[in-house]
A and B are shown apart, each in its own frame.
Chain A
Amino acid sequence: MSKCKTFRGGYKFVEFQGQPDDTLEEPFIPSQVNIPLLQGFGKEGDCLVKVGDKVFAGQIISRNDQNVSSPVHATISGIVSGINKTNYFGKNCLVVSIKGDGRSEYQKIPNASSNWSQLSKESIEEILYISGVTALGHGGIPSRFNSSIIQPDDVENVIVHIVGSEPYNISPRALFHKKTTQNLFDGMEILHKVIPKAQIYLAINKNKNILQGLDEQITKYNWLKIQYLKSKYPQNHEAMLVKTVLGQQFPYGYSSANIGVIVLDLQSVLHVYEAVAEGKPFIERTIALCGTALKKPLHVKARIGTALDDVIGSRIKPEIVPRIILNSLLTGAVLNDRSLSIDKNYSQIIAIPENHNRQFLAFIRSGIRSDSYSRSFMSNFLPIAQKTCDTNQNGEERPCISCNYCEEVCPVNIIPQILSKYVKRSIVDETLANLHIYDCIQCGLCSYVCPSKIPLAQHIKEGANILMEQGCTPDQCILPNFDNIKGVVESYRGIKEV
């Protein structure tokens, strides 16, 4: 067994109440779906259908081979009932509504076969693109159809990770429902066939016994390396994966694709396998429903485009006012509008109670169920007890006392409290760039641990935005350290979780 690698800083979230159990509820076919054409990685493609058209599940409704984009499919069979321009997560895009006829069959991808090892590289590449799977990952899976900002030849490394480091994670056992470990290896071999030059890494949690006999299996593949990691937040972030698995510097604020690294999670690789070996277009997503506001946290399979309300509406405890969060409790967006539809990026939907309740003398309670970075609660000495999880701030905002918790947990080695103090006093200049403000990956851990409840991550984001307006951009601070930047260079800040 190879050595377990990790990074400096970070924090391990353990045993929160409301973990989803491994059961996977079979999919239901919704009567209507609203499919945003802008989803996953890439730009919006051309809409290929009109209102009134009859469509099949699995039929491509949007495609553009010139743009950096991947095809989008109709996810149920039925009739196109509307095409509207809507604001979807802050971006304007077309949303195609389909009224379904209730049938669950879907159109298979032509050429795909279970005998995929006989297929040529070109045809596998085409199958991947047509299935829409290439939209997965932070930078997309490269193909000759412009599905990523880089070309297949630019890829040097592929990291497949099964690392759950969030408070709530999708369970690999649920993802392996009706599948075997062999399918995962097949998925990776397919990737290897498409990108033969790249080294593929499999990064997994040290104490996940989900993959039995892994070390024996791995010896069959000489292009594959395995790396054990600790389940410490934010290990699942692509920057931390690149740093720990490859030991390379990461161009913070840019995509890992820019240094020729493709980061994919378990579900993406299984999608790859399904597309090529089973001919299944990317129309379904397994989603973990987690959190204490749900009656029973579990996993569901849902067609892309299903309204959020159809998925979780009836599962929320009626007496609770929930906050519904996409993917991550620390960085995720709030899903206030339950008519929004599921898209390719969903992997967790978290519902936790909005807690406005005041607790009497909370600060001198033993806190068996209170999670804390400091070890000042009983929970740190009784790790068996499950921790509560709600939105209460657990204290008033106070001035910074320089306790330095934020520096200790920061995974990218910056000192959030100093940056925050500068930004709060509106002293924003090159000093902040010199203090590596652009290294921040917005994991939110500094805000989480702060005993003074200062929104440090938010201050850093504000500071970075002001600094960029002043003309001191990440191009000057980050890019000069990398001599081999690939593809379209587009910096992004903020939430971009897969």
Chain B
Amino acid sequence: MGVIRNLLDNMDRAGEKNQLIGKFKPVFKAMDGFFYGTDEVTTTPHILDHIDIKRYMSVVILGLLPATLAAIYFWGWRVLVVIAVSYIFGGMVEVAFAITRKKDIHEGFLVTGLIFPLILPPTTPLWVVAVGVMFGVFFGKEVFGGTGRNPFNPALIGRIFLSIAFPSMMSVQWQTPFLSGLGGFLHYQNGVDAMSMATPLGLFRSQGTISSYFDLLLGLGSGCIGETFRIGLIAGGLFLILTKIVNWRLPFSLLLSVIIFSFLGNHFAPAKFAPPMFQFLSGGLLLGAFFMATDPVTCPMTKAGKWIGGILMGFLVVLIRSLSGYVEGVMFSIVLLNVFAPLIDHIVLDIKYPKVVK
């Protein structure tokens, strides 16, 4: 504790003397606030809630922890390296912007930096991870003015950029997970021979096979790094809802609408539309529903807007999964939800608050 204090004080002093180090003041300030909190006091109201953005974001990370640990088990230690790369390179963009804007570093990146690796295929080369996260933070967030002003989920912007720029890496090669014994905890990465096992959604598209729901829940199939351990995702999501960090309306209406629309589709065109429970438990739906679509900045902010947005997004997920060239539609649906969010809110507000004064 004292060591960190000394280090920060020394850096501060060095920053006053040396102009170059002085430019990194936002970094020191962020570190200082990160470790020691604030000494500022309230005005009116005289007391304030104990939650702050750091706590808010760390609870989200806590919710992602089961899926992250399971990812290490399934895909090996390399997952940790991927996460580290994501934090370092994304953090660099964040810091660069904070320095040029002379503003504080905001904690929102803590979540982006962890979610981004979780939605990548396990085989993604590290340099691609770095390019993707930098693109996502830059064009998904910073160009719009940083945390709180971004219209899109930055992690998804990075992911979509990679999907379009490197389609073969992003949707063709899928690794088989470690499943026996201590699995990935003892390995860095699965060998090359364990490649090219199609995802459950891909299998349905190509052969019409439906994986066992139990396998899907436990994550025995292939998929992106963090999306397969679905029990952990559900537990983490419920934890976030319990702590009020995530509003229950959006995930609830989204999952409900996925089930309803896939039921209808499956009823009329069973070859195209997978059955409801399979859709519910496959792909990135649970990760997206609990952790990405609910990003408070980019989803509709009004309560009614969350219901409408959830239903709309569920419809899009089923539509893209079943009728488009892509096997997975969660990613695009979330970005489309982000696009529609301001419009939905605008309509909701117009209805809720009819004009009093012209």
Contacts and interface: CB of A to CB of B under 8 A. Distances in A.
B148 A401 contact: yes
A444 interface: yes
B272 interface: no
B149 A399 contact: yes
Interface in B27-52: 33, 35-52
Interface in A308-357: 323, 325, 329-332, 334, 350, 352, 354-357
Contacts of A398: 52-53, 104, 106-107, 147-148
Interface stretch (A20-28, A30-38, A121-129, A365-373): A365-373
B38 A394 contact: yes
Indicate the size class of the contact surface on chain A.
35 or more
B37 A444 contact: no
A447 interface: yes
Contacts of A303: none
B148 A399 contact: yes
B65 interface: no
Interface of A is mostly: loop
A417 B301 contact: yes
A325 B41 contact: no
Given A330-B45, A393-B48, A453-B48, A363 B58 contact: yes
Contacts of B351: none
A394 B349 contact: no
A449 interface: yes
A418 B301 CA distance: 10
B244 A363 contact: no
A89 interface: no
Contacts of A430: 357-358
A477 B46 contact: no
Contacts of A418: 349
B25 to A, nearest CB: 15
B35 A360 contact: yes
A332 B104 CA distance: 32
Nearest to A397: B40
Contacts of A402: 148, 296-297, 301
Contact of A396 (B41, B104, B357, B358): B104
Interface stretch (A60-68, A207-215, A260-268, A433-441): A433-441
Interface string A383-407: 0000001111111101111111101
B336 to A, nearest CB: 19
Contact of B353 (A363, A405, A434): A434
Centre residue among B49, B54, B104 by max chain A CB count within 10 A: B49
A401 B46 contact: no
Contacts of A390: 47
Contacts of B242: 375
Given A396-B104, A401-B108, A472-B357, A374 B41 contact: no
A374 B56 contact: yes
A330 B49 contact: no
B245 A374 contact: yes
A363 B52 contact: yes
Contacts of B45: 329-331, 444-445, 447-448, 457
A336 to B, nearest CB: 13
Contacts of A352: 46-47
Contacts of A370: 50
A477 B59 CA distance: 42
Contact of A451 (B55, B146, B356): B55
A364 interface: yes
A177 B217 CA distance: 63
Contact of B243 (A323, A360, A375, A455): A375
B192 interface: no
A359 B147 contact: no
B249 to A, nearest CB: 10
A376 interface: yes
B296 to A, nearest CB: 5
B46 A395 contact: no
Contact of A391 (B42, B104, B106, B356): B42
A437 to B, nearest CB: 10
Contact of A329 (B36, B46, B55): B46
B303 interface: yes
A163 B240 CA distance: 33
A393 B50 contact: no
B149 A455 contact: no
Nearest to A370: B50
B302 interface: yes
Contacts of B247: 404
A453 B54 CA distance: 12
Nearest to A332: B46
A372 B245 CA distance: 12
A449 B44 contact: no
B140 to A, nearest CB: 15
A167 interface: yes
A367 B52 CA distance: 13
Contacts of A396: 33, 38, 40, 52-53, 104
A357 B40 CA distance: 9
Contact of A395 (B38, B244, B354): B38
A484 interface: no
B20 interface: no
Contacts of B355: 434
B357 A477 contact: yes
A361 interface: yes
Contacts of A401: 53, 56, 108, 147-148, 296-297
A373 B47 CA distance: 13
Contacts of B303: 404, 407
A276 interface: no
Given A402-B301, A403-B296, A362 B51 contact: no
A355 B354 CA distance: 44
Contact of B49 (A355, A359, A448): A448
The 6 lowest CB-CB distance pairs between A and B, nearest first, are A395-B52, A399-B148, A370-B50, A363-B54, A444-B45, A330-B45
Interface of A: 167, 323, 325, 329-332, 334, 350, 352, 354-364, 367, 370-377, 389-396, 398-405, 407, 415, 417-418, 430, 433-436, 444-445, 447-453, 455, 457-458, 472, 476-477
19 contacts: A329-B46, A329-B47, A330-B44, A334-B46, A360-B35, A361-B36, A372-B49, A372-B51, A374-B245, A376-B55, A393-B40, A394-B51, A395-B51, A398-B53, A402-B296, A403-B56, A415-B301, A445-B45, A451-B52
Given A360-B36, A457-B44, 13 more contacts: A330-B44, A352-B47, A359-B36, A360-B1, A364-B55, A391-B41, A395-B53, A399-B106, A415-B301, A434-B356, A436-B353, A445-B45, A472-B357
